[in-house]
Amino acid sequence: MEHETAFVFPGQGSQYSGMGKDVAEAFPAARRVFYDIDAALGFSISQLCFDGPDDQLKLTENTQPAILAVSSAIHAVLEERGATRRDVVAGHSLGEYSAIVSVGGLTPAEAAAIVRMRGRFMQDAVPAGTGGMAALIGPSTDEARAICEEAAEGDVLSVANINAPGQIVIAGTKAAIDRAIVVAKAHGVRRALPLPVSAPFHCELMKPAEERLRPLLDEAHFKDLWMSLVSNVDASPIGTATAVRNALVRQVASPVRWVESVQKMIAMGVKRFVEIGPGNVLTGLIKRIDSSVELINVSDVPSIEKFVESVR
């Protein structure tokens, strides 16, 4: 069968103060999701989404459940309006949890509780200020790996996110990241810039976080998915509760293979990508991966109304 439509869900970096507010005000289905997540977390993440403050929203342990809450609330509205015909799902890093929620693997509240701890474990894995990430604009994945090898000098430094052609994020110790920026410029890389993140995600330094997350994921009540999820870690479709749990454990310290994941979905017949959640980061990345596909962004009340109208 042709897989025409993929729903994709954004990860960290898409957050902004005010996200989801109009959606919660307009739709009871969205309010229910926020209410359930607030109850599960024991504090009002919805208030943090709607009103900030930004410095609190930027803390990884808040950012992760906040983005998941907004994505899940928007998806719940689409579901209620009968606008969730899709053939495959995926999410970028944290967004993988939103994708799993969207196809019945976890409830929004269960997923939010897990990602809050995931954020905390990732933050705790490396003392503040000792790890970092940088974006390299221009090089191929192989060139980025070579830069990491040259700059590592015994420190952890590796490719963390393969986001789009010529857009690679690397992660490692702060010292290694600083060296990599110099090495990258010597190799003629167009731009090499440190990212404003609080920890070096998706590299070996996250192993302690992986070990702490594993028991949480082991005891979570995963269900088999209603349809395939293309996982970050293998860029291949999975669907059973066991495979999903395993992918989420490995995802923490492994690179996000976003380019291959999108290419896999296109190979499966996807012609239309619908990004569900705050911002439009994935829409921009997918456009750079393959400009021939149709891209739709559903992030607020006007875009929800427009999308629901288009699929009627």
Average pLDDT estimate for 255-275:
97
Instruction: Report whether 52 contacts 74 (CB < 8 A).
Output: no
The pLDDT, as a whole number, for residue 3 is 65
Per-residue pLDDT of 153-172, as tens digits, reads 999 999 999 999 999 999 99
Q: Which two three-digit tokens encode residue 89?
A: 């799902």
pLDDT at 269 over 80: yes
The confidence band for 121, taking pLDDT boundaries of 50, 70 and 90, is very high
Per-residue pLDDT of 177-208, as tens digits, reads 999 999 999 999 999 999 988 789 999 999 99
3-class DSSP state of 256: strand
State the average pLDDT for the chain. Answer: 96
User: How far separated are the first and last CA of the chain, in Å rounded?
Assistant: 22
Strands (E), the chain: 5-9, 88-91, 131-137, 157-164, 167-173, 191-194, 229-230, 237-238, 272-276, 294-298
The pLDDT, as a whole number, for residue 197 is 81
Say which residues have a Cβ less than 8 Å from residue 13's Cβ, sequence separation at least 6: 197, 279, 281
Instruction: Report whether 293 contacts 266 (CB < 8 A).
Output: yes
Residue 79 identity (one-letter amino acid): E
Average pLDDT estimate for 64-78:
98
The confidence band for 2, taking pLDDT boundaries of 50, 70 and 90, is low
Strands (E), 24-175: 88-91, 131-137, 157-164, 167-173
Q: Spell out the domains of the chain, with CATH numbers in brackets.
A: 5-124+205-311 (3.40.366.10), 131-197 (3.30.70.250)
The residue whose two tokens read 């209603």 is: 226
pLDDT at 253 over 80: yes
Instruction: Verify cis geometry, omega within 30 degrees of 0, for the bond prior to 28.
Output: no
pLDDT at 1 over 60: no
For the four alpha carbons of 282, 266, 232 and 167, in that order, the dihedral sign comes to: negative
Instruction: Report whether 270 contacts 295 (CB < 8 A).
Output: no
Average pLDDT estimate for 105-127:
96
The pLDDT, as a whole number, for residue 166 is 94
Per-residue pLDDT of 43-56, as tens digits, reads 999 999 999 999 99
Average pLDDT estimate for 292-298:
97
User: Phi first, then psi: what are they for 168, rounded to 5°?
Assistant: -120, 135
Instruction: Report whether 207 contacts 256 (CB < 8 A).
Output: no
Average pLDDT estimate for 10-31:
96
Cα dist from 89 to 153, 230, 235, whole Å: 39, 6, 12
Catalytic residue positions, numbered: 93, 202
The confidence band for 129, taking pLDDT boundaries of 50, 70 and 90, is confident
The pLDDT, as a whole number, for residue 211 is 97
